[in-house]
Amino acid sequence: MNLFSEIAFLLKKETTLELRQKYALSGILLYVTSTVFVIYLSFIKVEPTVWNTLFWIISLFASINAVVKSFFQENSARQLFYYQLVNPIAVIISKIIYNICLLLVINILTFIMMSIMVGNPIHNLSQYFLAIVLGSLGFSITFTFISAIAAKANNSATMMAILSFPVVLPILVTLIKLSKSAIRMTDTTWAKDVLMLGAIDLILIALCLLLFPFLWRD
Amino acid sequence: MRKNWWKILCVILLSWTFIAGLMVPMRPGVTSVTPYSAKVGDTIWLKADGYNTNWGGATKGKAWLHIDEFFKVEKAGKKMDSLNVFAIQSIDFKAINDQEVEFKFVIPQHLPLATKLENASLLVSVEGAEQALRPEAIAITQDSINAYRGKTFWNSKLDIHRQWHFEYPYRNILQETLRNTFFHVPMWFVMFTLFTIAIYHGIQYLRFRRRESDIKAVSFTQGGVLFGFLGLFTGGLWANYAWGQPFPLDIKIIMTYTALAIYLAYFILRGAFDDVEKKARISAVYSIFAFATLIPLLYVVPKLAPDSLHPGNGSNIAFGSQDLDNTMRLVFYPASLGWILLGVWIVTLVYRYKIIEEKLEMKMNG
């Protein structure tokens, strides 16, 4: 099998696992729904800046919860079996791609629910969606790799939060700037922010591929 | 001795930094001017309060109020900044004491620029004392605009004579805290140098799996965190004075907190492993991954955020243009090198301590 068919095969495996144990995805969705509902209950109407902040906070925590299990749900012995069976690079790439899709679904759902429940202050919808796509990309790359690191340390869920928050902060800062300009809260040109996010994502994915071979071997 | 020349250099440079950085006097300056606003056609006595001045007993003195007009000119296909200076000279002078002096000005009927309000700078030249400048000292208002006639009134020539003394420039607001430039700014250079070397050793560990590389990486990271906190501390002291708040919401400060958080997470991660090899390998992987996000963090993101208080962002002036004059360069560059050497020196001591500790432990365990 070459790399691509391996990735396709692993993606299929991830999806099957997800569909088989539905509680993971539905748990995240329930989390998002209840958070948005709490926001609706406490705010009723939300200022645009607050809307933006709340959206990214929900997105951040939902993403962490969704991605954290990518290296925890299978025990290390089975993972070693995968690494014997296929190229380890294919494992991480497939997990990243799978998480990108998952986070896109979660973020867009969050966006729709926020829009329905507490109103939609966005002026430039396509720009905001660009921010969501770039954000899902950045979050999934960072969190997947950090979850691979955290899985090696045993008290993983806490470790995941400690390790990933500082790393994801530059992405988050740029994302909030980009999305703020989509709400017209700031009047800056946003091409630079898009470029910046793209560059960070590229650097991170390159480092993932470069560093993963050192990580998986025990 | 031959091997440790850089330690001697470090001591010499840092002695120079402390002696020159703290002992060299500030150039005289004007701290405040009263009144701070006037109308065209007024005759005013302008009182200037000096800092580090010796105006007392002077009999002769001149001052100019000048308005600068900035414009762009094309020179050999390149856009260059240029400025016109329009000035009026004082007609009378009175020295009250060493720190206070008064000048009488007759402000002409029109301003030289087509605006209703213009800030004029004050250049004080008292005999037997160095010249002192107060930028944007007084706001002059006018009702009818006639820039052409204004230019004929504001036609005095500035008589700037500035000998080079070994003195630091006087800056408003900053005043004596300017000296913190030699201590606060190099802390960041040291932090970044140490983190970069730490990453280098992390990569070396992943390539060759040598135990020493890991110990070196940890030592350099610890040194970097130490200097990071020192930078925050010196910056907080300075900001409290210059900006009125020790840690204002400034993008560079947020980014520095993040950088330190990354490396504190690095130490927590190391604490989670018992196996020495696994600890070294996984923490090296994490530090390289985190460091990559640090680079855009500290250099690119602040440049994108236009409203930072630090120099080099938005409309603030960066190093090299106006923040550093030649006297400050004479201290600032040696200071930077000296602090970097001190950082490396501390780290080598930490490294040697760790090596000895490990050897002792091995001996104890037989």
B328 CA to centre of own chain = 10
- Other CB atoms within 10 A of residue B83 CB: 8
Q: Please count the CA atoms within 13 angstroms of the CA of A132 that sit on its side-chain side.
A: 24
Tell me if B284 and A214 make a contact (CB, 8 A cut-off): yes
pLDDT of residue B51: 87
Mean pLDDT check: name the lowest of A184-188, B182-186, B206-210, B253-257.
A184-188
Q: Are B355 and B216 in contact (CB under 8 A)?
A: no
Q: Alpha-carbon distance A34 to A58, whole Å?
A: 11
Banded model confidence at residue B319, pLDDT cuts 50, 70, 90? very low
Task: Provide mean pLDDT across the span B297-320.
Answer: 52
| Contact assessment for residue B87 and residue B118, using Cβ atoms and an 8 Å cutoff | no
CB contact under 8 A, A207 and B261: no
Most confident option among A37-41, B31-35, B201-205: B201-205
> Model pTM greater than 0.95?
no
Query: What is the secondary structure of B88-113 as a DSSP string?
Result: EE-SEEEE-SSSEEEEEEE--SS-SS
pLDDT string in tens for chain A (218-residue length) = 688 888 888 889 888 888 887 777 888 889 999 999 998 888 877 888 889 989 999 999 999 988 888 887 777 788 888 888 888 889 899 999 999 999 999 999 999 999 988 888 888 888 899 999 999 999 999 999 999 998 888 767 788 888 999 889 888 888 888 888 888 766 566 777 788 888 888 989 999 999 998 888 87
Which pLDDT value is given to residue A125?
86
Q: Residue B287: its pLDDT value, please?
A: 92
ipTM confidence: 0.88
Q: What is the nearest CA distance from A193 to chain B, expressed in angstroms?
A: 8
List of residues 6+ apart from B360 with CB closer than 8 A: none
pLDDT at B338 over 90: yes
- State the average pLDDT for chain B: 85
- Tell me the β-bridge partners of B101: B48, B95
Select from B285, B292, B304 the Cβ nearest to the Cβ of A214.
B285
Residues B197, A120: Cα–Cα separation, whole Å: 48
pLDDT over 90 percentage in chain B: 32
Q: At what angle do helices B276-295 and B251-271 cross, to 10 degrees?
A: 170
Please, which pLDDT band fits residue B322 given cuts at 50, 70 and 90?
very low
CB pairs under 8 A between A and B: 88
Beta bridge partners of A54: none
Q: Is B262 an interface residue toward A (CB < 8 Å)? A: yes
Residue B105 has pLDDT above 60, yes or no: yes
Q: Write out chain B residues lying below 8 Å of A149, CB-based.
A: 269, 282, 285-286, 289
Model pLDDT, residue A103 = 93
Predicted local confidence at residue B304, as pLDDT: 52
